[in-house]
Amino acid sequence: MAYADDVENEELHEPTSFISKYVWSQDHKVIAIQYSTTAILVGLVALVLSGMMRMQIGFPGSIDMDATAYYQAMTMHGMIMVIYLLTAIFLGGFGNYLIPLMVGARDMVFPYVNMLSYWFYLVSVLVLLASFFVPGGPTGAGWTLYPPQAITAGTPGSEWGIILMLVSLIIFIIAATMGGLNYVTTVLQARTHGMTMFRMPLTVWGIFVATILALLAFPALFVSGLMMLLDKTIGTSFFMPDMMQFGSQLDYSGGSPILFQHLFWFFGHPEVYIVALPAFGLVSDLISVHARRSIFGYRMMVWAIVSIGVLSFVVWAHHMYVSGMNPYFGFFFATTTLVIAVPTALKVYNWLLTLWRGNIHLTVPMLFSLAFIVTFLVGGLTGLFLGNVVVDIPLSDTYFVVAHFHMVMGVAPILVVFGSIYHWYPKITGRMLHDGIGKLHFWITFLGTYLIYFPMHYLGFLGMPRRYYAYEDYPFIPDSAQSLNAFITVVAIVVGISQLLFLFNLAYSYFKGAPSGGNPWRATSLEWLTPETPPKHGNWGPSLPVVHRWAYDYGVPGAVLDYVPQTTSAEEVPVHENDHDE
Amino acid sequence: MDNTSQPTTSGMNGLIEDWVSDKDAFKNVSWGKTMMWIFLLSDTFIFSCFLVGYMSVRMTTDVPWPNTSEVFALTIAGEHIPLILIAIMTFVLITSSGTMAMAVNCGYRRQRKQAAILMLVTAVFGVCFVGMQAFEWTKLIEEGVRPWGNPMGAPQFGAAFFMITGFHGFHVSIGVIYLTVVALKVLRGDYEERGYEIVEITGLYWHFVDLVWVFIFAFFYLW
């Protein structure tokens, strides 16, 4: 007997008290909201930090920020954005909300473990934020935390900040593992009647493969974090070579700093795709729904996601070209890096071919999706530059790199996060987000990011190094760079403040938004077909839905409506009368 | 009972049929068992990283690595035997895998008492293992081995030793607690309705911990 059948026979125990419903909740939808809210709040901290850094770069001395504070802001900005915002919101937020609804499950397979996952995540965030208040402040080692400088005296936060950072990462990994086991098992083993793997929406595929990557890549971060913690606290020498500091020999001997870089990037590169693959999946669904076209090349899209996932484990050392390595390794990693461009480009072509001759509705989610495609394309193309050893070495550690990764894994996924929130907010709350505010928010954010990051490519070519506190009095940086920096700062502040529009929209529409009904976008996938909106505990009422088709039946020839929900069987499809006589 | 979820073909075709079917990709495998397998896959990566990290620092350190067969030798009744304690520990742990396998068998035969007793015996073997590990740690600490240095050679020796065996010993200790809890629940009859697959899931974890030890034994002690 299939275990997925058991849930139908089990009684639903709906939580009744406020605490069990909204605080210690085991409902995947509540956990998803908790994850997302926490991630967005901590993301705001990182956003403010980036604004402060931009003020220092654009208008040196305009705010009270010394070099120490600058490095601390830079480190925390990077770590929060990559791990605590993007990873958490894609897997913990969208994964939790959408997986059970999209595959037709009542909940995750182990709701209690799922709940623990959120609370561990919250603890990791609190530990991270606590590092702002310890002596010496948070770590300023850069988000990659390279030893030996991450733990030696003189680096900001080498007293307590680095310890709290590592502890927080370890707790985060435990949280991500507990959640991840749930997501993978739910996708594999808890789908509803008729829901085969190849009928799942691409959102589920993206999150599913990203979660597998997370389960296999986070161990490397866990181990490197633990080893560095031991180096820092009890004086082992895993990553610490013999070294002199301030005229005296340190108590370390014979360790390998390069080992840390290998372990870190063995995690770090899959991490890029842990963020990108869910974004690929979500954006595929947004494009298909809002262009009223079935996704082009569904199976190709799935295999592209899977092969990107596999390849992402054999490219990590392209982050280490300047660390020094055997030229043959450089050749190997450059080749694998460029090979990844093939499935990635395939996905971009498929998105474009989905749009081609589609009935494109320029709704806010669609605007964000289109913005994603171009932004991802720009960021991806500069990735081809940086993937080549000979091009990477002169550009390494310049603003070109900053522009590249902010485009490809900062802005592009965030655009998908925004688009997806605009798309699924009606299901979560039963109300539409305000369209006008949404469009204003979109245009400021989209145009703003180009005004911010396009000039940075140029600054990189000029040779402006990244991670510097101040750029005055360097003969190789022309004066014009400073005016460009001031311009970027002004735009960055405007874009940063404009995010308040989004927050206001979330709050305002929750109370005043237009009622959405169950399926405002006329979409086919299961989450739009729940008996109630927002879905109640258990999602599906008395019996689970039965799936008869894939998730992309838009524009079916002969059908009355331009879409056919996944639960509609072939006989039930309403057709035009005159189509019967050929 | 629903026929679509029963395996119909075997071999490669059966595998493909399972993966393209609805509901579940692994037929007749419970949620708990799936999740344990995936967890163990993830844990494999943790131990692999530990071992790769250890081998890497062993290559980079400029001080000679201590001779492990000398360090881990014991003198019993005037006889100097290399690696004897580790050999006994390995033997105990592998024996415990045997009793665990018997417990799983008894569970499926619904011999609840025997299953519980065999699980508790497994747990006792586990405690013996951790006990011997504590003895080994004590001996090394008395000889001056510390995580930050030791009199026999490379400081990474102590660091890798305490970290890897410590993390493995932590896994064994968790396993002992897990086995004991499940054994007591088996004894109490908590699983009479649901069946005794939980014994097998516990066993998966335990066999994994044993397997990891074999690799630690090969790469750390024998090399």
Which residue of B31, B42, B46 is in closest CB contact with A189? B31
Place of tokens 């990011």: A449
Residue B182 located in a structural domain? yes
A110/B62 CB distance under 8 A: no
Which of B21, B44, B45 best tests the A interface by mutation, with the highest count of A CBs <10 A? B45
Distance CA A165, CA A145 (A): 10
Helix (H), strand (E), coil (C) string for chain B: CCHHHCCCCCHHHHHHHHHHCECCCCCCCCHHHHHHHHHHHHHHHHHHHHHHHHHHHHHHCCCCCCCHHHHCCEEECCEEECCHHHHHHHHHHHHHHHHHHHHHHHHHCCCHHHHHHHHHHHHHHHHHHHHHHHHHHHHHHHCCCECCEECCECHHHHHHHHHHHHHHHHHHHHHHHHHHHHHHHHHHCCCCCCCCHHHHHHHHHHHHHHHHHHHHHHHHHHC
Residue A321 corresponds to which tokens in the numbers above? 């070209």
CA-nearest of B212, B213, B219, B181 to B89 is B213
Which residues of chain A does CATH 1.20.210.10 include?
24-200
Q: Measure CA A384 to chain center.
A: 21
A196/B63 CB distance under 8 A: no
Query: In the prediction, which pLDDT does A570 show?
Result: 83
- CB-CB contact of A106 with A539 (8 Å): yes
Distance CA A106, CA A544 (A): 8
B31: which chain A residues are within 8 Å (Cβ-Cβ)?
3, 109-110, 185, 189-190
- CB-CB contact of A139 with A158 (8 Å): yes
Which residue of B24, B38, B53 is in closest CB contact with A238? B53
Q: What is the DSSP string of A213-270?
A: HHHHHHHHHHHHHHHHHHHHHT---SS--S-EETTEE-S--S--HHHHHHHHHHHHHH
B147/A230 CB distance under 8 A: yes
Range of the domain at B93: 31-222
- CB-CB contact of A525 with A262 (8 Å): no
Residue A220 corresponds to which tokens in the numbers above? 């490397």
Query: In the prediction, which pLDDT does B2 show?
Result: 44
B22/A224 CB distance under 8 A: no
B26/A3 CB distance under 8 A: no
Helix (H), strand (E), coil (C) string for A336-362: HHHHHHHHHHHHHHHHHHHHCCCCCCC
B29: which chain A residues are within 8 Å (Cβ-Cβ)?
3, 189
Number of A to B CB contacts under 8 A, please give it.
153
CATH number for the domain including B203? 1.20.120.80
Nearest residue of chain A to residue B16 (CA atoms): A197
Residue B16 located in a structural domain? no
Residue B210 located in a structural domain? yes
Closest chain A C-alpha to B186 CA, distance in angstroms: 21
B34/A185 CB distance under 8 A: yes
Query: In the prediction, which pLDDT does B4 show?
Result: 47
ipTM of the complex, rounded to two decimals? 0.93
Distance CA A284, CA A366 (A): 11
State the maximum Cα–Cα separation within chain B, in Å, rounded to a whole number.
68
Residue B143 corresponds to which tokens in the numbers above? 């000889």
- CB-CB contact of A249 with A125 (8 Å): no
Closest chain B C-alpha to A80 CA, distance in angstroms: 23
Q: Which residues pair with A554 in a beta bridge?
A: A563
B45/A219 CB distance under 8 A: yes
B5/A181 CB distance under 8 A: no
Nearest residue of chain B to residue A251 (CA atoms): B148
Number of H helices, E strands in chain A: 17, 2
A215/B41 CB distance under 8 A: yes
B42: which chain A residues are within 8 Å (Cβ-Cβ)?
177, 180-181, 215-216, 218-219
Give me the number of domains chain B comprises. Answer: 1
Closest chain B C-alpha to A61 CA, distance in angstroms: 44
Residue A499 corresponds to which tokens in the numbers above? 């995010």
CA-nearest of A325, A230, A244, A268 to A83 is A268
Mean pLDDT confidence for B193-205: 93
Residue B14 corresponds to which tokens in the numbers above? 């059966």
Which residue of B25, B61, B149 is in closest CB contact with A188? B25
What's the Rg (C-alpha) of chain B? Answer: 21
CA-nearest of A78, A226, A243 to A152 is A243
Residue A245 corresponds to which tokens in the numbers above? 């500091």
Nearest residue of chain B to residue A190 (CA atoms): B23
In CATH terms, the fold of domain A24-200 is Cytochrome C Oxidase; Chain A (1.20.210)
Distance CA A515, CA B59 (A): 65
- CB-CB contact of A347 with A331 (8 Å): no
Which residue of A2, A236, A266 is in closest CB contact with B159? A236
Contacts for A33 with CB less than 8 Å, ≥ 6 apart: A93, A97, A428
Query: In the prediction, which pLDDT does A9 show?
Result: 58
Residue B163 located in a structural domain? yes
Query: In the prediction, which pLDDT does B6 show?
Result: 53
Place of tokens 């976008």: A521
Which of B31, B48, B156 best tests the A interface by mutation, with the highest count of A CBs <10 A? B31
Contacts for A299 with CB less than 8 Å, ≥ 6 apart: A198
Q: Which residues pair with A431 in a beta bridge?
A: A515
Residue A415 corresponds to which tokens in the numbers above? 């655009």
Query: In the prediction, which pLDDT does A473 show?
Result: 84
Residue B89 located in a structural domain? yes
- CB-CB contact of B156 with A259 (8 Å): no
- CB-CB contact of A221 with A267 (8 Å): yes
B35/A181 CB distance under 8 A: yes
Is a pLDDT exceeding 70 seen at residue B216?
yes
First to last CA, chain A: 45
Q: Which residues pair with A249 in a beta bridge?
A: A244
A256: which chain B residues are within 8 Å (Cβ-Cβ)?
56-57, 60
At B54-89, the pLDDT tens digits run 999 999 888 999 988 888 888 888 888 888 899 999
A199: which chain B residues are within 8 Å (Cβ-Cβ)?
22
Question: What does pLDDT average to in each consecutive run of 10 residues of chain A (582 residues)?
Answer: 56 74 90 97 97 95 93 96 97 97 94 96 97 95 94 93 97 97 96 94 97 97 97 94 90 92 96 96 97 95 96 94 88 94 96 94 96 96 93 93 95 97 96 96 96 95 92 88 95 96 96 93 94 91 92 85 89 69 44
Residue A130 corresponds to which tokens in the numbers above? 């606590």
